[in-house]
Amino acid sequence: MQLRNEQRQHIETLIRLSEGQMTGLDGCREVIRRSWERCVDEYRLDPGRPRPARVLTQQALREHREPVDELLHVARAGVDRLFAQVAPMGYVLLLTDRRGITVDFRGQREQDHALRRAGLYLGADWDERHAGTCAIGTCIHDAKAITCHQSEHFDATHISLTCTAVPITDPQGQVIAVLDISALRSPRSHESQNFALSLVNLYSRMIEDAYFLHRYRDCLILRFDMAREFVHLNGRGLIAIEEDGSIIAGNGFGRALIDAHLSRWPPWSPGLVPKATQLLDGEIGELLGILSASDDQIRAFRIRASEAICFVTLIEPRGRRIATRAVPPSLTPVPALDRLASDDPAMHRVLKLARRLRNEEVSVLITGETGTGKEVLARALHDSGKRAKKPFVAVNCAAIPESLIESELFGYLPGAFTGGSSKGMRGLIQQADGGTLFLDEIGDMPLSLQTRLLRVLAEGEVMPLGAEKAVRVDLRVITATHRDMDALIANGRFREDLYYRLNGARLRLPALRERADHHYVIRSVHESLVAKRDRDVRLRADAVSALLAYAWPGNIRQLKNALGFALATAEGDEITVHDLPEECQGGLAGVPQVLEPSSRNATSDEGRALLGLLRETAWNVSLAARRLGVSRPTVYRRMRRYGLVPPNRKDAHLENALH
């Protein structure tokens, strides 16, 4: 009875709409209103004459199923799984072709009759032109996911239903099918279907991807995601490519990447698609070599359009291994350089260029924020080149007082100036003869010395102070700076001609926070520090998480200092988050501390004992330290480790957590 009343009211609203009156449409969603208008104006549906659901004959259904047979086959597992999840909540599942004909269906047998009457059945036709506004038909028209809930349906026959439909698109982005879940009854509120929408979206995407992988199973496929951990499991992007990197097709996410590229760099000829090596900043050899690049068969690439880093794996064509190509010289392993980075696109670029430059005489200028490892790279360039057995002399132009820098660099003869050594001194430039001279903070070199340095570089000769004859030197010069050299030149503080001579090639080191291989850097800095000590102290997972979460304004130097501090102060054989300097713990503040099972008991016992003692001593840390026979800082450190905060402090709740 109540349904009849609602149907009557619904019909009246739509009749008013068909007569051009917009009353009773308050709260009606735009997408629904537009569809209702289409039903009235375009399809000439009469709201006053509800129509029963139309179900096709077996023969007609067969004709609709045939063209989507392959999709039905691929989608089967997804359809079964989705239905298993939603059936207990009273939903049925429909898969339709792009015309809205239900070509696959799952429903409860005991409701067979009611479902057939409602059109929730195999062969049912949900084309908007015939059935009016409904999830499937409107989803096909708009090519968008939609929930059509109860009286949002146009036809009064359907206003007890709730239906949620999501399009499945082919690799060209055309709707080829629709996945829908519907229920005969549902709660009143539209929001009750939000979860249904997310779930159908998820399955529709899985079916789409399964279909893509099936269709392009004979091609190379790049699978990518913004999280390394998800690439194999559920990498969102798929792009099928030829062996030269030409793009054949992409799934929704892959096409979005291509579109982003094209909107930034519009093609000079319409329809021209960029190559995968243009979308992702890398060479074809790097893409084809992904499977052998790392243990997890994933490699990081920079997306050129957004500068973001994504992680990519390669799926080989069915039954065919791609030929491994000869490795280009720029990718040949060079241990001294290779160990500076793991899988970071910017570092790959730097190291690729460094491999080419290591045996060249070109001057190299290394730029990058302070502490990014400019000197370490300069040293690695030297060690990996033909001058490796000759001296590597590093000079920090900012650290030597201006009054001394000239004599330090150029040297002097006995008696050249008051205060100098009576034996004179061989300058650093001469000391580097045959090897490499590394001038750090070159932007801080005084102007007068810049002129003299230019002469050394131009003529290959150095003139020590007080000398009358120049001495020949054979040098490779590497310089570094974290300053903006263009600004220094513009302000007249750096000679342009010297700058061009030093800048034969430029290597720009990325800041640590921009790198995708944080984990590797943390591990290698930790290993290098542990190697210098006599005991092995491992990094616990919570400390690694905090280190990964921190932004490192001081780059690798700051990381090294933080780990050095933790190694020096940690008790036992592991570094926990609480052993790190306070500023690095911030990333995990507020996150409940997860203790490893083996240490949980010992940790809380120890924590409880300390809490007992602190209570006994009325939170007098000095007294507690004396009783324990340890220093005050040690007690504070242990308090931090167990989250013990004096009761007068606001966050004293941590104390309670131990009970």
Ligand X SMILES: Nc1ncnc2c1ncn2[C@@H]1O[C@H](COP(=O)(O)OP(=O)(O)OP(=O)(O)O)[C@@H](O)[C@H]1O
Using the 8-state DSSP alphabet, how is residue 110 labeled? G
Which residue in the block uniquely carries the two structure tokens 């997972």?
Answer: 541
In this chain, which of 223, 560, 578, 641 binds ligand X, going by CB under 6 A? 560
Query: Closest CB to ligand X among 279 and 378?
Result: 378
Q: Mapping DSSP to helix (H, G, I), strand (E, B) and coil, where does residue 151 land?
A: helix
CB of 605 to ligand X, least distance (A): 37
Query: Closest CB to ligand X among 38 and 374?
Result: 374
Residue 171: count of CB within 10 angstroms of its CB: 21
How far apart CA 518 and CA 341 sit, in angstroms, is: 9
CB of 434 to ligand X, least distance (A): 23
Ordered alpha helix ranges (H), 468-517 = 485-490, 496-502
Query: Closest CB to ligand X among 301 and 552?
Result: 552
Q: In which element (H, E) is residue 240 found?
A: strand 237-241
In this chain, which of 448, 528, 622, 631 binds ligand X, going by CB under 6 A? 528
Q: Mapping DSSP to helix (H, G, I), strand (E, B) and coil, where does residue 5 land?
A: helix
Residue 403: count of CB within 10 angstroms of its CB: 9
556 in contact with ligand X (CB under 6 A): yes
CB of 524 to ligand X, least distance (A): 5
Interaction mask 466-505, ligand X, x per CB under 6 A: --------------x-x-----------------------
Amino acid symbol at 391: P
Q: With CB under 6 A as the rule, give the number of residues binding ligand X.
A: 18
- Stretch binding ligand X (CB under 6 A), from 343-351, 366-374, 405-413, 642-650: 366-374
Residue 575: count of CB within 10 angstroms of its CB: 25
338 in contact with ligand X (CB under 6 A): no
- Stretch binding ligand X (CB under 6 A), from 82-90, 453-461, 520-528, 604-612: 520-528
CB of 528 to ligand X, least distance (A): 5
400 in contact with ligand X (CB under 6 A): no
Query: Closest CB to ligand X among 199 and 376?
Result: 376
How far apart CA 403 and CA 405 sit, in angstroms, is: 6
CB of 373 to ligand X, least distance (A): 3
In this chain, which of 162, 372, 430, 479 binds ligand X, going by CB under 6 A? 372
540 in contact with ligand X (CB under 6 A): no
156 in contact with ligand X (CB under 6 A): no
Q: Which is nearest to 149 in space by CA: 8, 10, 4, 1?
A: 10
List C-alpha distances in Å: 306 to 221, 257, 264, 301, 302. Answer: 22, 9, 9, 12, 8
Which residue in the block uniquely carries the two structure tokens 């001058």?
Answer: 387
In this chain, which of 340, 453, 478, 511 binds ligand X, going by CB under 6 A? 340
Q: Which is nearest to 311 in space by CA: 344, 273, 348?
A: 344
- Residue 189 structure tokens: 């509120």
- Stretch binding ligand X (CB under 6 A), from 81-89, 344-352, 483-491, 555-563: 555-563
384 in contact with ligand X (CB under 6 A): no
Q: Is 419 left (phi over 0), alpha (psi -120 to 50) or beta?
A: left
CB of 310 to ligand X, least distance (A): 23
The answer to whether 152 and 110 are in contact (CB under 8 A) is no
374 in contact with ligand X (CB under 6 A): yes
Query: Closest CB to ligand X among 373 and 424?
Result: 373
Q: Mapping DSSP to helix (H, G, I), strand (E, B) and coil, where does residue 7 land?
A: helix
Query: Closest CB to ligand X among 339 and 455?
Result: 339
443 in contact with ligand X (CB under 6 A): no
Q: Report which residue's Cβ sits closest to ligand X.
A: 373
25 in contact with ligand X (CB under 6 A): no
List C-alpha distances in Å: 57 to 62, 96, 182, 212, 596. Answer: 9, 15, 22, 31, 62
299 in contact with ligand X (CB under 6 A): no
Q: Mapping DSSP to helix (H, G, I), strand (E, B) and coil, where does residue 638 land?
A: helix
Residues at the site binding ligand X, with contacts judged by CB under 6 A = 340, 368, 370-376, 440, 480, 482, 524-525, 528, 556-557, 560
